[in-house]
Chain A
Amino acid sequence: ILNVEQSPQSLHVQEGDSTNFTCSFPSSNFYALHWYRWETAKSPEALFVMTLNGDEKKKGRISATLNTKEGYSYLYIKGSQPEDSATYLCAFPGDNFNKFYFGSGTKLNVKP
């Protein structure tokens, strides 16, 4: 079992605040790192798939960076909105590159 850790476990911010959270993963034999957003009563939705050290991806107000050498990825949300409230999950494919290990997620609550 690979160790994929996310921090913090939960975050409460005000509308308009910018926020970020971390995903840590094993730095050896890197293949890819995934970010998902999981809103209540919906299914998880893919945000980013990151494959190269130094990768930076952006989708609207959400962006992510990747450091494969030290084994971490940051997810940033600029100017949080209530609709950003969700659990954000990262996932790391294991040895055979198809089997995914998920972190326990960061639950974000954005207050209006």
Chain B
Amino acid sequence: DVKVTQSSRYLVKRTGEKVFLECVQDMDHENMFWYRQDPGLGLRLIYFSYDVKMKEKGDIPEGYSVSREKKERFSLILESASTNQTSMYLCASSLGGKQPQHFGDGTRLSIL
């Protein structure tokens, strides 16, 4: 079974802090994704990566950056956290568009 592991289930940070969310997958998937989920808005794509060091912006990349130095690890970085980034963050990986995405358990991030 594919395992996607996110480093924290719950995280509380302060405004202005630099925040790192880590995601690791164990199935050698090329594609990895970061989403945020807010009530009534579904899953919105922040960034995705289709290979090591390759990334593409999603629909809401402002205020975020990503890093993919190794195939199994995809990090989401909040450069200077703000209260409007309080949300549930989900990481996923897949082999491609005709293969299902496999999700981590999510990180509920609160910015105070």
Bound form: Cα–Cα A45–B31 in Å: 17
Closest partner residue, chain A, to B100 (CB atom): A46
A43 and B103 contact, CB distance less than 8 A: yes
B98 and A51 contact, CB distance less than 8 A: yes
Residues of A within 8 A of B44 (CB): 102
A99 and B58 contact, CB distance less than 8 A: yes
Stretch of B13-21, B35-43, B63-71, B73-81 lying at the A interface: B35-43
Is B109 in the interface zone, CB < 8 Å from A?
no
Q: Mark B39-51, 1 if CB is under 8 A from A, else 0.
A: 0111111001010
B105 and A42 contact, CB distance less than 8 A: yes
Closest partner residue, chain B, to A46 (CB atom): B100
Bound form: Cα–Cα A40–B24 in Å: 22
**Given A36-B100, A43-B90, A102-B43, 12 other A-B contacts at CB below 8 A?**
A31-B98, A43-B103, A44-B101, A46-B102, A49-B100, A91-B101, A97-B96, A98-B31, A101-B45, A102-B42, A102-B44, A103-B42
Can you list 6 A-B pairs with a CB-CB distance of less than 8 A? A32-B97, A43-B104, A46-B100, A99-B56, A104-B41, A104-B42
